[in-house]
Every structure is written in C-alpha cells, then in structure tokens.
Structure 1
Amino acid sequence: MIEILYQLDEHLLFISSYQEANQLTFVLKRETKSASCPHCGHLSHRPHSTYIRTIHDLPVGDQAVILIIQLHKWFCNQTDCTTKIFTEKVPWLSPYRRKTKRLEDTLRTIAFSMSCLQAEKVCQRLHMPTSHDSLLDLIKYTSVTEIADPSPFCGH
C-alpha cells in the first residue's frame, strides 16, 4: 500500500498507519525543500509553518482510505508580489478539496451514470462515503470542454 501512496507523490514520507472498522488511515508528511508561489511563480526556500489536511482517497478492498497529511506554508520573498504567505500545492489534490482527484474522478463517473440518489447508495457500498448533494456539485462544476459528436436525432 505504501508503494501506491508513493505513486501519488514522490515527496511523501510515511509516518504511521492504523486500521479501524472498515477504514485505513495513513499519516503522511510531505518533505520538500521549496515551493513555487502561485501568484508570481518565484521559487521559495523559506518555510513559514506546517498544517494538517485530512483527505479521502480511493478505497482499498472493503476499507475506506483516509490520508492525514502534513503540508507546508511558505514565504514569498519577491518584493513586488502581493502574496506574502502561500501553501504548497500538490498535483493530486485540488485546492480546498478533501478528496483526491482520482477519487473525485471515480465519483464523477458514478454520478454521471445514474441518479445521484442511487449513486450515493453505490458509493456508500463501495466505501466511498459521499452525499447526493456532493455528487450533484461534482456534476455542476464539471466543465464540458469539447462537445461530443452530435446525435443523429438532434436537429441543427
């Protein structure tokens, strides 16, 4: 399982894990020496502090997976940048979200394939706890970047 977590991010350091009823919890730390400011792009080597995020990931077998991860905040040293302190970004996690991108993609696929009330029940059964409202939000905020081939039944 640890190898799967390292596939998410090579900077993850495994601290500990524990198992509860139908749930695996992994405590991780992200070890980085620098981060790029999201506003100006300047590479900062000056850490500010750390903070903890609790993230849901895809289930393993019949157990939900929770990642408790320690991330860093950094100072931006650029004098002309309006951002003075920023949080490091990880590629497998969207800002302000509590689910990994791969879990969100799976939930989105399920939500688009059936009604959200049915999808909620399926997700609960698959150990991906979510509400039908969260599934509706995933559908609502999904961007349609390209239009599929038009149906022969559509008149133009």
Structure 2
Amino acid sequence: MILADESTYNLQLLHQQKGEGQFSFVMKLLSKNAGCPKCSTLSTRKHSHYTRILKDVPLDDKEVHILLCSNKWFCDQPDCSARIFTERLPWLEAYRRKTKRLEEKLTQLAFSMSCLQAEKVCQNLCMSVSHDALLSLIYRKEVVKSPSPFRRIG
C-alpha cells in the first residue's frame, strides 16, 4: 500500500476511515516543486490544487479508496506548450484512477481468463471493476510480436 512510502512522496495522511467493506484515506501532497511533463523544467510556483479519487489494491479483504489532493503548477519555460501542469507521481499514471500496482494485478487477471470471468474473480478479491474496464487494460497493453516457432512450408 502506498502509505508505507508516505515520506518518499511527501504525502500527508489527513483522515482515514474503515467502513464496511472498504478503507478510505484522505491524503495531501506536500510538494514544494514539480517537474513539467513536457519540458522537464522544475517549477516552484503553485497554480492551484485539485482532488482525485483513486483505487488501490485491497487491504485486509477490503477495497481501498484514496482521495488525493494534488497540485497544479505553472511552467515558466517560455517556449513550453504546457503553461499549467499537474504533478506526476511514479505510482500513478496520468489521467488514471487506479494505482499502477492495481492495474498490473487486474491486467494479469484479464489476460489469464475471459474478462467476464475476471470480473467475477475481482469481485471476490475485493477489487470492483467491470469487464469493460478489464478489456480497456488489455487494449492498452503493448503486444510485442515474436516470430512463430513454426515455419510455413510450401
């Protein structure tokens, strides 16, 4: 769970709640600067903040929901196309609502069986996800073509 790495990412745990079937965490990023994703320039000027609702791997057979207060920054590089950007995190892809490790587990399940079956297995493992979401994870995965072990004769 990402709480173990709280100091690494400058996260502050504001609130936690154990409900029926789920854990909820409210966290805030305390970053003093961030690198622009377009030009890699380090910015120290905050623009604003926003909240994201994320899902992580289950904890103690309960779903994990994280309300994350993240920062937006100004990019002061004159020739950069990004005037305002959001802070990037190594454990979360941009624009996603699931942590990387949850997506990895879901992808493994989706590739090991049909997405309809994987949806049912995920429900039993406290990872609520639709079969359509599992299909989209499969479509995002880059498939590397390898040469066939069988040669065509004739």
Q: How many residues align?
A: 151
Q: Secondary structure at the match of 1:77?
A: coil
Moved more, 138-147 or 87-96: 138-147
Map 1:62-77 → 2, pairs under 5 A: 62-77=61-76
Percent identity reads 48
CA gap 1:38/1:10 in 2 versus in 1, 3 angstroms? closer
1:155 partner letter: R
Moved more, 73-82 or 101-110: 73-82
**Whole-angstrom CA distance in 2 between matches of 1:132 and 1:145:** 23
Whether the 8 Å contact between 1:6 and 1:12 is mirrored in structure 2 is: no
Whether the 8 Å contact between 1:25 and 1:65 is mirrored in structure 2 is: yes
TM-score by length of 1: 0.90
Q: Secondary structure at the match of 1:29?
A: strand
Point out where structure 2 has 5 or more consecutive residues left out of the alignment: none
The root-mean-square deviation of aligned C-alpha atoms, in Å, is: 1.7
Deviation at 1:123, TM superposition (A): 0.2
Whether the 8 Å contact between 1:56 and 1:98 is mirrored in structure 2 is: yes
Alignment partner, residue 87 of structure 2: 88
Alignment partner, residue 28 of structure 1: 27
Alignment partner, residue 135 of structure 2: 136
Does 2:151 match 1:155?
yes
Deviation at 1:145, TM superposition (A): 4.1
Deviation at 1:39, TM superposition (A): 1.3
1:64 partner letter: E
**Whole-angstrom CA distance in 2 between matches of 1:143 and 1:49:** 35
Alignment partner, residue 14 of structure 2: 15
* 1:60-81 deviation digits (Å, cap 9, x = unpaired): 1210000111000000111222
1:66 partner letter: H
Deviation at 1:115, TM superposition (A): 0.8
Point out where structure 1 has 5 or more consecutive residues left out of the alignment: none
